[in-house]
Homo-oligomer: A and B are copies of this chain.
Amino acid sequence: MKLSSSGQGQQAHEGENKCLNSELWHACAGPMVCLPTVGTRVVYFPQGHSEQVAATTNKEVDTHIPNYPDLPPQLICQLQNVTMHADVETDEVYAQMSLQPLTPEEQKDTFLPMELGIPSKQPTNYFYKTLTASDTSTHGGFSVPRRAAEKVFPPLDFSQQPPAQELIARDLHDIEWKFRHIFRGQPKRHLLTTGWSVFVSAKRLVAGDSFVGLLVNFCHRNEKNQLLLGIRRATRPQTVMPSSVLSSDSMLIGLLAAAAHAAATNSCFTVFYNPRASPSDFVIPLSKYVKAVFHTRVSVGMRFRMLFETEESSVRRYYSS
């Protein structure tokens, strides 16, 4: 299982199976994103998955897609594996899940205690700041909010005038970035100067995007606290490009056919979950699903929808039917 890792000292490049930091992944994904636990049972909604893929390929789900009579509107699976990833180009975070459909008999098993919902670890010593025009311009550096700097950055030596230090931080791909951190100006403020513009241009940041800083503590192997960084892109007016690899129809068919085939042959299938791409959760813990169904006093089979407000006041949905 490669859910997370800690103490990953140097750049690891084992094919595409990079072990990226779980806390950093969550810090970039946002506070409302919660991944199911490996080994537990989950409900997979082909409809919600279709909507995410359709949103990504800028395509409406239409009626060209054949029916898959063997594929129920929700599929109870065991979550065999979850790996966290970040897009090499955009740093967009996503998760890859391996789902094992369960037979009707396996579904009847009683709940394991651990299935009652242990949320994945959310980051604690972290901050994010939406970048201003001044932050991203070539004219200057990055103005660090005072509380953020004090909470997350290593303390400065105030006997120096001005107090300054070199910050070393690693991103989702375990690439190292160096910044000059200085406390100066009148009134005094924390700034990142040298190194900042390289970061902005490398990540192609614009005003409205966000910087994420995270302090993690690796207890073992004598390693000290380490600074991690990430970004969150502003939700732009969806300039999704056509895929040029496979037609969106074929993708939607493939999605359904893969799930149906896995269900029929009792084998695993793989899905990608992009928490920031669309507001649809399509893999949710079975325990949460059962609770929701019980709570709303509807029988399984009726259409319902649960709404949650996220931090950005958008909406997350669960699918059922």
Interface residues of A (CB under 8 A from B): 16, 53, 56-57, 64, 66, 85, 87-89, 92, 94, 96, 239, 241-247, 249-255, 257-258, 261, 265, 267, 269-272, 274
Known: A66-B261, A257-B257, A261-B66. A251 touches B245 (CB 8 A): yes
Asked whether, in the complex, the Cβ of B253 is within 8 Å of the Cβ of A272, the reply is no
| Most chain B Cβ neighbours within 10 Å, of A64, A269, A271 | A64
Asked whether, in the complex, the Cβ of A246 is within 8 Å of the Cβ of B251, the reply is yes
Asked whether, in the complex, the Cβ of B253 is within 8 Å of the Cβ of A251, the reply is no
Shortest Cβ distance from A288 into chain B, in angstroms? 24
Interchain CA distance A250-B250 in the complex, whole Å: 9
Known pairs A66-B265, A253-B254, A253-B261; list 18 more (Cβ under 8 Å): A53-B246, A56-B245, A64-B267, A85-B242, A89-B241, A246-B255, A247-B270, A247-B272, A249-B258, A249-B270, A250-B251, A250-B254, A250-B255, A250-B257, A250-B269, A251-B251, A254-B255, A254-B258
Interchain CA distance A250-B256 in the complex, whole Å: 8
Task: Name the B residues within 8 Å of A267 (CB-CB).
Answer: 64
Task: Name the B residues within 8 Å of A244 (CB-CB).
Answer: 85, 87, 92, 94, 272, 274
Nearest residue in B to A90 (C-beta to C-beta)? B244
Interchain CA distance A66-B246 in the complex, whole Å: 18
| Most chain B Cβ neighbours within 10 Å, of A246, A255, A270, A274 | A246
Interchain CA distance A92-B242 in the complex, whole Å: 12
Asked whether, in the complex, the Cβ of B241 is within 8 Å of the Cβ of A269, the reply is no
